[in-house]
Amino acid sequence: MTLEEFSAGEQKTERMDKVGDALEEVLSKALSQRTITVGVYEAAKLLNVDPDNVVLCLLAADEDDDRDVALQIHFTLIQAFCCENDINILRVSNPGRLAELLLLEPDASPAASEGAEQPPDLHCVLVTNMSKHVGGCQQRKRSLIHIHHSGRILP
């Protein structure tokens, strides 16, 4: 490994840490403001009704989900819709961590009782207009948007 390769790797890791921190802050603020929609079906409904208020779309999938053809079709359609409506998109490779950020059980499974709810579908998370937020969070959102527009893909 050359010094340039080592430096580039360090810079990439540092940049990804900054993106992760910014995303954590945006999700925390959005969660407290109740401006989050969770689930592919719920996201599709919101995108159909009010796409102008959606500012960020998170698509979360782990390695197992990459082989789910139906989910990949949903992702493709959601990405196309978001691109047409200028909605920022981030791919997340760790749905468990996303569940932690949204204050959910990462490996939640339905309880044994009859009336148990299914665990939330974290494959798609939408953040709607966060105009109520102040300074720091808006700056973090701008950082995420800048990274999105620069064409960088998150691991």
User: How many folded domains does the chain comprise?
Assistant: 1
The pLDDT, as a whole number, for residue 88 is: 92
91 belongs to a structural domain: yes
pLDDT at 36 over 60: yes
Q: What predicted TM-score, i.e. pTM, was given to this entire model?
A: 0.69
25 belongs to a structural domain: no
The pLDDT, as a whole number, for residue 4 is: 59
113 belongs to a structural domain: no
Structural domain boundaries, residue 54: 34-107+120-131
Q: Which residue has the tokens 């990804």?
A: 16
90 belongs to a structural domain: yes
Distances (CA, A) of 17 to 12, 32, 40, 64, 155: 9, 23, 27, 24, 11
The pLDDT, as a whole number, for residue 151 is: 45
Percent of the chain with pLDDT over 70: 65
The pLDDT, as a whole number, for residue 74 is: 92
The pLDDT, as a whole number, for residue 144 is: 56
72 belongs to a structural domain: yes
Q: Can you tell me the mean pLDDT for 140-154?
A: 50
CATH number at residue 73: 3.30.1330.30
More confident residue, 134 or 41: 41
The pLDDT, as a whole number, for residue 121 is: 84
Burial 17-56 (b: 16+ CB within 10 A, else e): eebeebbebbbebbeebebbbbbbeebbebbeeeeebbbb
The pLDDT, as a whole number, for residue 155 is: 41
Mean pLDDT across the chain: 76
Q: Can you tell me the mean pLDDT for 11-32?
A: 82
152 belongs to a structural domain: no
94 belongs to a structural domain: yes
82 belongs to a structural domain: yes
Q: Report pLDDT digits (tens) over 77-125.
A: 999 999 999 999 999 888 888 888 887 655 544 333 344 466 678 899 9
